[in-house]
């Protein structure tokens, strides 16, 4: 099948709607395991193709190692092969990144996702060497992650192209909100066999799919997985009008938790929105803070206005002892 611009969509295994899942926690900071299972069931029922845990939306850098490892094991066990599972490795230290990546791969994830070392404004040559070393020492597949909002590094497309030809590198999640860059990225890598381009920024999802991206990684998928799947299906069918209409609808839903907020605030608002749907609690991991009570009440009204089945109160988290 071809999108509207006539470029073929690469026949890769990895693609579709991959939801960057929030990390449900209790007020004490423990993993809310029942909420994880509830959320995974909600996403699967919406028809998504996979989940990405320990990413930016999942508060990855703030997640303690033991909690993250338990989340990965629980996600793999709960999905039982029905969904693709990706796990983020955000370590700056190469050895730690390799260790975390291989641990997650042994737990059963389908690929690990890594961005350039954050905080240092890494030069392209150093980032290329980092990804080359990482991919060479991993025991499974690697997806590159371009997220300049948090890493302060935009991966140049020539670097992405060079890294894409390394063994085990099977895709890129590009979360840079730059339409011209996206078009160039798809022109350079969109037709590469066994390499998936995922659009990770909401405003470019619909356009990216129509231009041949293999998939999307939408935070709004936590709230509206079925709508995200409809968007993907419409774009794959080349239905431009329906794709655009669904994209506008998803942007309206995204605005509920993103409008006027910083990244950290929007993540807290997303969790609070999910709490109103009975899927998880509103609690965040430090240094992130939960949404103030007054804003939670306003959020409830916005969800009702968009037609969401809002509960009267948050579900009570259940503290469980770690298993395994």
pTM of the model: 0.91
How does residue 121 score in pLDDT terms, banded at 50, 70 and 90? low
Is residue 232 pLDDT above 70, yes or no? Answer: yes
How does residue 12 score in pLDDT terms, banded at 50, 70 and 90? very low
Mean pLDDT score, 10-37: 89
Mean pLDDT score, 37-59: 97
- In angstroms, rounded to a whole number, what is the distance separating the alpha carbons of residues 17 and 255? 20
Is residue 21 within 8 Å of 56, Cβ to Cβ?
Answer: no
Cα–Cα distances (Å) from 107 to 83, 86, 253, in that order, read 15, 11, 34
Report the mean per-residue pLDDT for the chain. 90
Q: Domain 16-239 is in which class?
A: alpha beta
Question: Worst-scoring range by mean pLDDT, 119-133, 235-249, 256-270?
Answer: 119-133
Is residue 52 pLDDT above 90, yes or no? Answer: yes
- In angstroms, rounded to a whole number, what is the distance separating the alpha carbons of residues 300 and 285? 22
- What residues does each domain of the chain span? 16-239
Percentage of the chain exceeding pLDDT 70: 90
Q: What is the pLDDT of residue 50?
A: 97
Nearest to 75 by CA among 145, 141, 12, 24: 24
Q: What is the pLDDT of residue 119?
A: 64
Q: What is the pLDDT of residue 268?
A: 98
CA torsion through residues 289, 294, 295, 297, sign: positive
What is the CA angle 216-219-225, rounded to 5? 75
Q: Within a 10 A sphere around the Cβ of 133, how many other Cβ atoms?
A: 14
């Amino acid at each position: 099948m071809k999108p509207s611009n006539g470029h073929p969509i690469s026949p890769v295994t990895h693609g579709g709607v991959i939801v960057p899942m929030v990390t449900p926690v209790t007020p004490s900071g423990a993993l809310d395991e029942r909420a994880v299972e509830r959320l995974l069931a909600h996403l699967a029922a919406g028809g998504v193709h996979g989940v990405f845990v320990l990413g930016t939306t999942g508060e990855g850098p703030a997640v303690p190692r033991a909690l993250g490892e338990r989340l990965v094991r629980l996600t793999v066990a709960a999905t039982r092969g029905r969904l693709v599972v990706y796990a983020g490795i955000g370590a700056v230290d190469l050895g730690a990144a390799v260790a975390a990546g291989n641990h997650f791969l042994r737990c059963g994830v389908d690929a690990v996702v890594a961005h350039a070392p954050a905080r240092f404004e890494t030069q392209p040559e150093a980032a290329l060497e980092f990804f080359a070393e990482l991919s060479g020492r991993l025991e499974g597949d690697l997806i590159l992650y371009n997220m300049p909002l948090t890493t302060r590094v935009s991966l140049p497309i020539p670097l992405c192209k060079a890294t894409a030809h390394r063994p085990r590198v099977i895709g890129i999640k590009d979360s840079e909100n730059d339409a011209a860059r996206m078009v160039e990225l798809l022109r350079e890598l969109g037709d590469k066999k066994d390499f998936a381009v995922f659009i990770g920024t909401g405003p470019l999802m619909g356009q990216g799919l129509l231009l041949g991206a293999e998939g999307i990684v939408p935070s709004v998928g936590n709230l509206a997985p079925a709508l995200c799947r409809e968007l993907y299906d419409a774009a794959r069918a080349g239905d431009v009008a329906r794709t655009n209409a669904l994209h506008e609808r998803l942007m309206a839903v995204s605005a509920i938790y993103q409008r006027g907020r910083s990244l950290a605030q929007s993540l807290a608002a997303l969790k609070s929105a999910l709490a109103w749907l009975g899927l998880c609690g509103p609690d965040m991991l430090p240094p992130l803070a939960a949404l103030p009570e007054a804003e939670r009440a306003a959020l409830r009204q916005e969800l009702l206005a968009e037609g969401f089945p809002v509960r009267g109160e948050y579900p009570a988290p259940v503290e469980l002892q770690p298993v395994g």
